[in-house]
Amino acid sequence: MSADRGSLPRYIVQRILLVIPMIWLALTIVFLLLRVAPGDPVSAAVGGKLDAAALASRRHSLGLDRPLIVQYWDYIKDVATFNFGQTISDNRPIIDVIRDNGGATLTLTLGAFLFALVFGIPLGLLAGRYRDTAADAVIRVFGVVSYAAPIFWTGLLAVILIAPTGWPTYDIASPVTKFEVHPVTHILLVDAALSGNADAFWDVLQHHVLPCLTLGLLLSGVFIRLVRVNLLHSLQGDYVEAARARGIAERHVIRRHAFRNALVPVITIIGLQVALTMSGAVLTERTFNWPGLGNQLVKYLVARDYSAVQGLVTFFAIVVVIVSVFIDILNAVIDPRVRY
């Protein structure tokens, strides 16, 4: 292997260049699925409500009466300029939907990750360190169950338990806060902080707790399982054996040699979790009536709004590709073995 091939800048450039074909392919798949396959999107969404002439004009204004190849080209071109199209059912630009609802999804998923990291990694290390003991068994069962439990079910149970206490279990903020805080960044938590209104900020924060915990619980299950397996692998590594042979105290071997190496793949895990988090966010938002993108997606799915579904799914696909590339690069910076 030449020194140049393994160089970091080169790897980063390669990875970034690969984003373009990946996004293009994802867009093509989305287009093929949502535009080519079914019948007429306009009559599916607003069928019974408009007469034939109005339907035809809607089709025309959305460009749905043109040849598919033209539509495909326009779609790719539009996405390149961050134009994700227009919803059919309520006639909004999809970029507006993303702007208004994306912030709620962002804070939800970040909060969930924070919770999963703080909670999942120590438990995973503990289970791996004390393998096959009662603690390991309990943690493993917890890991399996928290992963097995559907997120909307844990969410609903949390609502049932917490709702009687008066702690908020619904939506991202109380109506008063929503009225008081003016959108600046469109991320309510940030906007509330910027407004300097302590009550509003506290209110939004309170509303975040339950949804973030619910989504974080799902993610922590994955963290526990993977960190545990990583630790088991690194405990069997030659370098651990070597450290032991040199007479280094077991406590030290575990902390310095095994734990650190077991934690390297955590970044990769986070990368792999992005997709799962998104799926989880859709369900969490539905459970807590959280005004995020997932809830909007479900709304448009129920309305059979192909155009809105296409736009939102496109956005999700792009986010996944970009985040995974970002994680890959981060991984390469941390772990030189990744860049080959």
Task: Provide the binding-site residues for other proteins, judged by CB under 8 A.
Answer: 21-22, 25-26, 29-30, 33-34, 37-39, 44, 131-132, 137, 144-145, 147-150, 152-153, 156-157, 159-160, 163-164, 169-170, 229, 232-233, 275-276, 278-279, 282-283, 286-287, 297-298, 301-302, 309, 313, 316-317, 320-321, 324
Q: 189 vs 262, which CB is nearer to other proteins?
A: 262
d(CA 190, CA 293): 18
Q: 62 vs 222, which CB is nearer to other proteins?
A: 222
Burial label for 246, CB within 10 Å (0-12, 13-18, 19+), is exposed
Helices 94-129 and 293-302, interaxial angle, to 10°? 120
Q: 190 vs 232, which CB is nearer to other proteins?
A: 232
Q: 11 vs 288, which CB is nearer to other proteins?
A: 288
Between the CA of residue 134 and those of 208, 217, 255, what are the distances in Å? Answer: 34, 21, 21
Phi-psi region of 198 (alpha: psi -120 to 50; beta: other; left: phi over 0): alpha
Assigned token pair, 178: 């929503």
Q: 38 vs 183, which CB is nearer to other proteins?
A: 38
d(CA 127, CA 119): 13
Shortest distance, CB of residue 43 to other proteins, whole angstroms?
11
Shortest distance, CB of residue 99 to other proteins, whole angstroms?
20
Shortest distance, CB of residue 211 to other proteins, whole angstroms?
14
Query: The tokens 């981060």 sit on which residue?
Result: 330
Shortest distance, CB of residue 29 to other proteins, whole angstroms?
7
Shortest distance, CB of residue 278 to other proteins, whole angstroms?
4
d(CA 9, CA 178): 45
